Structure formats: C-alpha cells, structure tokens
Structure 1
Amino acid sequence: MKKLLFVFVIFPLYFFGQINPINFENPGVGSVWTWTVFENDDNPILEIINNPISSGINTSKTVAKFTARRLGQPWAGCETLHGSDIGSFSLDSSNCIIKIMVFKNKISDVGIKFVDPTSAAQPEIKVSNTLVNQWEELTFDFSSRIGVFPIIKDQMVIFPDFDPNPRYDDEVVLFDNITFTGFNNPLSWECMNSICTPQNNNSGSFSDSLSCVNFCMQSSAFNFNVNKKKIIRISNFLGQESSRNKYIPQIYFYEDGTVEKKLLKNY
C-alpha cells in the first residue's frame, strides 16, 4: 500500500483586522452585533445586561449573558453574523492569543472557533474555567492555526458551557472583554537563513509571522517514500519546535541544511 501524500501550498496574504476588543459596552463593540444562538432548545437570545459583579478583574458596566438550557446540546453556543460584526481577518503572530472573561457557577469548558464565509472551520479550541462565582480570564492559544485553512475568517463562535455531562437545570454564563493579542508580542519579523525570527524592534521586514513565512520560504514537492533526508527539527510558523502533525503547515529542517515548508496530508 502506498503511503504518501504531501501537499504543498503557498499561502495568499491578506491584510484585514478583526475588531478588538469586544467589550459589550454602549458605546463599544459587541453589544449591537447580530448574535445568533444555536443548538440550545428554544434558543433564548444572547442578552446584554449590567455587570452584576463589577469589581476585581472586570469593572465593565455591561456584559453578555448566555443561558444554556437544560435540554440544550453540550455544544450550544452563539455566533456572530458573517460579513459584518467581527470583520474579516487571518490569524498571525499579532492576534493569535484570544482571551475572554467568564463568570460561571460550575466548572466546564468554554470553546471558541472561527469560521470563513463558506462556513468552513477548524475545530474549536476549549479551555476550562477554574474558578466559580467570580470573573476569570481564560486564554486560548490559536498559534497552531496560523496559516491553516481556512485562512480568512469572518465569524466567531463561542460555546460558553461545553460540557458533555447532562445539565440538571439551566446554566447562566456571563462573558466579556474578548481580546486578540500577539504571541510574546514581537514588534516585527525578519527572514534570516530561511527562518522567520521575531525582532524586538521595528527593523524587521514583516509585521507578522504569516507574512514572513510566505516570503521567506518556498514550497517544494516532496515524496516521503523517496526522500530519505534526515529531519533534525520541525517547527511551526512561530519558530517553536513541534512534532510532526497532519493537516497543519510546518517547517522542516534537514541535516543537509535545506529547509522546506509543507502541509502533511498523510504519512
């Protein structure tokens, strides 16, 4: 049985930006968006309410209130409107860390994912709260999704109570202050010896890692059954060392000094 198939792509560049931060204030961002609730029994609307605990880490006046119905699905959630609201954007080193404040009375996962205009999406990333009955900020690391299809997103989906266990009553989850920040917040990126390197100043040629990788490395044909070059290192688009993964663009460094950017479809 043949066991190959590496597919290589050159990623197009886009320069859009998501709206940031999403704070549900008036005036502000998020409070008048078209939020659609799904898979939640009778799908009660996402409410914008006064912050019941406006102290500690969250002193906002208003927040979002999601009521997870007892008969709703574990993945019940809410989503923004395609083509408006959050805007069109791609993930790169400047915005791949997403944070959200939540107020929950139970421990369960919160999920976030991003969708393109055709409804294509990678699976959600889930993070559990560790505190109850108080505000807590959760951090979602989307750096592994940089350069991964679909490149351009225009919708955000939030799963406030992603719990596989049955709900015995309706669960109210508050969330607020969704932010997009950079990975270690480098000021610029530079292509050095076919490696994208973060700079601590503005002297780099590129403002984000995705732009740098597209110009820094050339994709090339590769057959796993034929090419026996010794791999000495694999990294992601942020230069972090990683193991070999399918369906995620990675950078391969070989013993002979060559470097290849590729998307592994099968091995």
Structure 2
Amino acid sequence: MKIVLTLILAVFSYALITAQNIPIDFEENGNGADWTWTTFENGENPPALEIIPNPDPSGINTSSTVAKFTALQEGQPFAGCETMHGAGIGTFNIEESNSIIRIMVWKPVISDVGIKLVTETGWSKGELKVANTKVNEWEQLTFDFSTVDHENMTYDQIVIFPDFGERASDNIIYFDSVYGDLAMPSSTKDLEKIEVRLFPNPATDAITVDSPNRIERYEVYSATGKLVASKGSIENPTIDISDLPNGIYLFRAFSSNGTTTKKFIKE
C-alpha cells in the first residue's frame, strides 16, 4: 500500500508540475482575462495590462477580447508585461508538445516581439524575438523554444515584450491567442496529431513527406517564425527546398484528421 500511495503521489506531483493553462485567449471563459498581468519599464503606462474588446475583429483574428499594450516612447526598448509567478499560466516544463509558442499581434510598426519564460526563482534562458511583417492587421508569429537548452527548468511565468526596440512615438499594440493555433477548430477540442515523416533530414535540395493521411495543406516556417512556404495540398510528396537558406525549419501539415509539426534542417 505504501508503494502504491507513493506512486500516486508522484504522478499527482508530476501533473501539477506540467499543468499549463493555454491557450491564452483573454476570453471570458478562457485563459488570461482574469490573470494578474503587470507592465514594466514603460514610463507611466498603466501598471496592469488592459483587456479590451477586439478593435479589429477581421482577418485571422475574430475573437471578442484581446490584450492592449501601449508602448510609450519614453519607455525602455524592453518594456513589456508579465504574469504573476505561480499563477495564471501555471507551472510547466518545456517538452516537444508545448515548445512552439504562437501569438497573434496587431501592430502599427515593424519591430521585434519578445517572449521569455521564467522560473519561480527568476531564472530564465532569455527571450526569443520575432519581428512582425505586417502593420495594422492581425498576424500570427511563431517562437520555437525547442532551440533552447532548458536544462529541465520548471517555469511558472511568461513575459511578453510587444514592441522590443527604440520608438519614435507611442505605439499601441494588441496581442491575443498566446499558444494559439490558426489550424485549431472553433471548438475547444484539439485536433488529433497525425503521423508525418520527413526525409532525408537534414536535407539539401528537397524533402519527402510520408504520411498515411492525405495532407490537405502545409506550411513551412523559419526558426524566427516567418512563413516561407505554403501550399493547399501535396500532389507530389517531394518538396523543393533548394532556394531556402541553410538553417532550422518547421513543417506544419494539416489534414481532415488532424495536424502536426515537424522540424527539419536545410544544409
């Protein structure tokens, strides 16, 4: 009985450690709207993050509620907002299943967006930064935290830098759907993860996509989260990558049965 009880406690403890409240969608019955968010290094900006009705419910983001961050010209380049330690997002480790963080942003300027994960003692591996490519419309950015050696660190805070850089004026930034996914259905039920194999990997000129499912759409993202290729379907399982610069890429496949993301290297 003691052994069984110890095992149950161990499983329960692991579940607590890996509990993560995502996606952060700022909706009434979702995650983020009622969390404690504080801003920092931003002059006289309100000390709490503003949660407001979506000012531009068009394009890829028609959600009802979003976060608003006013990056002041007088603020530091690294002005941002953060969740409370031990609350909100929960306590978690980075694994393959949650190493890709996506965020929707609406920005009037082109500048870096930064995301940082922090432990309860304040330790962090630093922020990853990805620049938006569109202005005055919603865009989804992708951050690949699998490229970071997390050394089994347990995180309990997420920090977002909506406008990382020097500013010529105050910039109003909206962001939403952190850990969200454009491929997710409108219901809260996740899509199933489908089986996909890429070979050769690393590759030089082309990769072959092997899957028992019919791939209806695919997207290829650079390590900085920029969409570099996409297609409505795969008639030919071999994809030409000869024009891509050397580096790490994410291949995102979609089918009627589900979706999956695979990493490949171009060399």
User: What is the TM-score when the length of structure 1 is the normalising length?
Assistant: 0.61
Query: Which residue identity lines up with residue 76 of structure 1 in the other structure?
Result: A
Are residue 117 (structure 1) and residue 120 (structure 2) matched?
Answer: yes
Question: Which of 51, 57, 60 is matched with 1:57 structurally?
Answer: 60
- What residue in structure 1 maps to residue 86 of structure 2? 83
- What residue in structure 2 maps to residue 223 of structure 1? none
Query: Which residue identity lines up with residue 121 of structure 2 in the other structure?
Result: T
CA-based RMSD: 2.8
Query: Per residue, is there more helix in 1 or in 2?
Result: 2
Structure ranking higher on relative contact order (CA contacts 8 Å, 6+ apart):
1
Question: Which of 131, 135, 138 is matched with 1:135 structurally?
Answer: 138
Displacement of 1:25 after TM fit?
0.8
Query: Which residue identity lines up with residue 38 of structure 2 in the other structure?
Result: T
Report matched runs for 1:63-212 at 5 Å: 63-145=66-148, 148-149=150-151, 151-163=153-165, 165=166, 167-179=167-179
Structure 1 residues 108 and 241, CA gap change in structure 2 (3 angstroms): closer
Deviates more, 1:91-100 or 1:39-48: 39-48
Query: Which residue identity lines up with residue 118 of structure 2 in the other structure?
Result: V
User: What is the TM-score when the length of structure 2 is the normalising length?
Assistant: 0.61
Structure 1 residues 35 and 73, CA gap change in structure 2 (3 angstroms): same
- What residue in structure 2 maps to residue 251 of structure 1? none
The alignment-based identity, stated in percent, is 53
Q: Give the number of the structure whose alpha-carbon radius of gyration is greater.
A: 1
Structure 1 residues 120 and 173, CA gap change in structure 2 (3 angstroms): same
| SS across alignment from 2:89 | coil
Structure 1 residues 55 and 82, CA gap change in structure 2 (3 angstroms): same
Contact 1:38–1:78 at 8 Å: present in 2 too?
A: yes
Contact 1:120–1:150 at 8 Å: present in 2 too?
A: no
Query: Per residue, is there more strand in 1 or in 2?
Result: 2
Displacement of 1:168 after TM fit?
2.4
Report matched runs for 1:12-31 at 5 Å: 14-15=14-15, 16-31=18-33
Contact 1:96–1:180 at 8 Å: present in 2 too?
A: no
| SS across alignment from 1:126 | strand
- What residue in structure 2 maps to residue 46 of structure 1? 49
Displacement of 1:51 after TM fit?
0.6
What is the CA–CA distance in structure 1 between the aligned matches of 2:35 and 2:124, rounded to whole Å? 21
**Cα-to-partner distance string for 1:136-166 (whole Å, 9 max, x where unaligned):** 00000111235x2361000000000001x3x
Query: Which residue identity lines up with residue 154 of structure 2 in the other structure?
Result: I
What is the CA–CA distance in structure 2 between the aligned matches of 1:84 and 1:40, rounded to whole Å? 23
Matched length: 179
Displacement of 1:76 after TM fit?
0.2
What is the CA–CA distance in structure 2 between the aligned matches of 1:139 and 1:40, rounded to whole Å? 25
Off by >2 Å, runs of 4+ in structure 1 = 238-243
Contact 1:122–1:149 at 8 Å: present in 2 too?
A: no
What is the CA–CA distance in structure 2 between the aligned matches of 1:22 and 1:86, rounded to whole Å? 8
Contact 2:162–2:173 at 8 Å: present in 1 too?
A: yes
| SS across alignment from 1:94 | helix
What is the CA–CA distance in structure 2 between the aligned matches of 1:81 and 1:180, rounded to whole Å? 20
- What residue in structure 2 maps to residue 208 of structure 1? none
Structure 1 residues 239 and 139, CA gap change in structure 2 (3 angstroms): closer
Displacement of 1:80 after TM fit?
0.2
Unaligned runs of 5+ in 2: 1-12, 182-192, 196-210, 213-261
What is the CA–CA distance in structure 2 between the aligned matches of 1:150 and 1:180, rounded to whole Å? 24
Contact 1:97–1:180 at 8 Å: present in 2 too?
A: no
Contact 2:43–2:75 at 8 Å: present in 1 too?
A: yes
What is the CA–CA distance in structure 2 between the aligned matches of 1:241 and 1:138, rounded to whole Å? 20
What is the CA–CA distance in structure 2 between the aligned matches of 1:156 and 1:186, rounded to whole Å? 29
| SS across alignment from 2:98 | coil
What is the CA–CA distance in structure 1 between the aligned matches of 2:147 and 2:136, rounded to whole Å? 32
